[in-house]
Amino acid sequence: MTPSLDPVSPPVALTIAGSDSGGGAGIQADLKTMTTHGVFGTSVVTATTAQNTRGVHDVVPLSAEHVTAQYDAVVEDFAPEAAKTGMLATREIVEAVTRKVRGFDGPVVVDPVMVAATGDRLLSAGAEAAYEDLVASATLVTPNADEAAILVDGAVETPADAAAAGRTLVERGADAALVKGGHLDGDGEVVVDTLVWGTEGEDPRVRRIENPRIDAAATHGSGCTLSSAIASRLARGEPLEEAVVAAVDGMGEAIRRGYDVGEGPGAVNPTATDAR
């Protein structure tokens, strides 16, 4: 007897980011995360990298024109319910992506990949400046403390600083900001992530999301995994606050059960929590 066809129709999400040849971050981590969350992931590749668990050896940005062509090909055939951005590499790509997401019919999560885990800046000053318009087009922007400091041009060292930075980003046009607390000063046993959001004409709301700190070096891909988890939940129709809190809470397990692969620290495990 021939089995009957039984297709599924999951929500579609889109990631616009760089490729990680080591598989732990970037497009590869995004698509793993989206699958884990029951979402069909589509992608626009902004750059290719030669990297592994020990570090990045080479980066080759694609042309803004080709990035635009990929985006157009995806949206004319699929109907993404949410999108996220990661590594955008150059000012031209940041500007091209900003033009496209302004017309996107759905939530957009912007992960402003500006600073490496080593503290090295990943973008030119011009590319960093171009993020201002992209942030203003975001449903949610998810900087770590170092990236938030660049975006608001001020120190972000404590949870209070994070809340102030989040308010500034919302004032500049983002619907919401999640300032990640992994690099903040404070209680070493607790990570405090700060969500700031609000509606026009009202004071922004602030929520501190506290979770135990996991003593692990394998945090490669954590930002990509978190922003993709949020975008996936938004694609499934979850409210913003609910989506952010659930995704942040799930990161502990992704880090605790990280992948022990390669000769370096390894990477977070996007499949550690079944979030469907």
The larger pLDDT score, comparing residue 230 to residue 125, is at 230
The rounded percent of the chain whose pLDDT value lies above 90 is: 73
For residue 152, what is the enclosing H or E element? helix 145-152
17 close to 30: Cβ distance less than 8 angstroms:
yes
pLDDT number for residue 117:
61
Question: Model confidence over 32-61: pLDDT tens digits?
Answer: 999 999 999 999 999 999 988 888 888 899
The whole-number average pLDDT for the span 215-220 is 84
Helix (H, G, I), strand (E, B) or coil at 138: coil
Q: Domain residues of the chain, as ranges? A: 12-256
Sorted by sequence, the CB contacts under 8 Å of residue 142 that are 6+ apart come out as 109, 110, 111, 112, 177, 178, 180, 223, 226, 227, 230
Angle between helices 125-136 and 145-152 (to 10 degrees): 90
pLDDT number for residue 46:
96
> In this structure, is the dihedral angle defined by the CA atoms of residues 221, 227, 230 and 232, taken in order, positive or negative?
negative
Question: Model confidence over 110-159: pLDDT tens digits?
Answer: 999 887 665 556 677 788 889 999 999 999 999 999 899 999 999 999 99
The larger pLDDT score, comparing residue 244 to residue 1, is at 244
pLDDT number for residue 118:
53
Give the predicted TM-score (pTM) of the model: 0.94
Which homologous superfamily is 12-256 in? Ribokinase (3.40.1190.20)
